């Protein structure tokens, strides 16, 4: 498949998701609307926020100034607040705060809270889809054990709610993924089920600038190290979510469609390392 900034992936929900996203983690609310507006003007059609980031409203403000249907907006349930009524309340707040009319994607941000709360939360998301408030649902930072549990919960909800599809479908999973934290087991689990895999921290928070292999590839292709890492994500089939508050970097991070990493280039980024730079809830116990 030829990759372009307009490349989209088909989700299990039936909706499309733009493969290149723009993240707003740690972007100050006062600066978020500007960043999102500049990102959309640069060609991004996918904005990734979360309740935890406290900038959903600013994202909505920016998105409403463009064509709503053309921009895919993601947000996430606040960690440590799982539960049926809590998730219902959060979705209503998200809709009110963003003013978007519907949410393209809502993820459970982390698996904290225990099995019962995870199941209740998923049920609330399924009902939000049925009510037309949310189009697609998924999870973030789940380990394989949590994902296996979610499949069981979906089967249970189908039986309890009376019918195929009544348990909902997992459309998207989001994790920290880059050449030094590829999460092969999780990616394989998702791909067997056609679940889109999003990659946050695709630029490793800048902690790998100057890494010999990345620097070599950047020189080879006449690109920045950031562009090399984003291109790696795209060619791996991931949905990268680069972020920046600097106008020139917002634009540059989208300019990754005029070159291609060779098979040899891609293999050289197979580091065999597992070093995350953010949190790692994938290791959380099922019972907590």
- Cβ atoms within 10 Å, residue 173: 24
Buried/exposed 67-87: b ≥16 CB within 10 Å, e otherwise: eeeebbbbbbbbbebbbbebb
Does the annotation count 257 as an active-site position? no
Task: Spot the catalytic one: 44, 53, 142, 200.
Answer: 53
Cα–chain center distance at 152: 23
Encoding tokens for residue 145? 């054990």
Residues, the chain, total? 288
CA–CA separation, 227 and 214 (whole Å) = 10
- Cβ atoms within 10 Å, residue 241: 26
Distances, alpha carbon 81 to alpha carbons 86, 88, 90, 121, in Å: 7, 11, 9, 9
- Active site amino acids: 53
């Amino acid at each position: 498949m030829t990759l372009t900034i307009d490349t989209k992936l088909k989700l299990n929900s039936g909706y499309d998701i733009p493969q290149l996203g723009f993240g707003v983690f740690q972007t100050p609310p006062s600066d978020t609307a500007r960043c999102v507006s500049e990102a959309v003007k640069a060609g991004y059609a996918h904005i990734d926020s979360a309740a935890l980031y406290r900038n959903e409203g600013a994202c909505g403000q920016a998105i409403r100034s463009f064509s709503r249907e053309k921009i895919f907006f993601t947000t996430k349930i606040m960690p440590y607040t799982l539960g049926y009524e809590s998730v219902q309340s959060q979705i209503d707040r998200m809709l009110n705060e963003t003013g978007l009319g519907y949410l393209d994607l809502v993820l459970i941000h982390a698996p904290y809270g225990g099995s019962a709360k995870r199941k209740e939360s998923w049920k609330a998301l399924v009902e939000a889809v049925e009510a037309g408030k949310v189009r697609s649902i998924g999870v973030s930072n789940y380990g394989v054990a949590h994902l296996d549990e979610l499949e069981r919960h979906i089967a249970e909800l189908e039986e309890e709610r009376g019918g195929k599809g009544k348990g909902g479908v997992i459309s998207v999973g989001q994790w920290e993924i880059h050449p030094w934290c590829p999460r092969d087991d999780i990616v394989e689990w998702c791909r067997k089920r056609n679940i889109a895999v999003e990659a946050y921290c695709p630029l490793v928070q800048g902690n790998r600038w100057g890494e010999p292999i990345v620097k070599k590839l950047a020189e080879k292709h006449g690109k920045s190290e950031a562009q090399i890492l984003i291109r790696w994500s795209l060619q791996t089939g991931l949905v990268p979510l680069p972020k920046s508050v600097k106008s020139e970097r917002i634009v540059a991070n989208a300019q990754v469609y005029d070159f291609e990493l060779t098979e040899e280039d891609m293999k050289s980024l197979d580091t065999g390392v597992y070093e995350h730079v953010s949190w790692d809830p994938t290791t959380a116990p099922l019972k907590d």
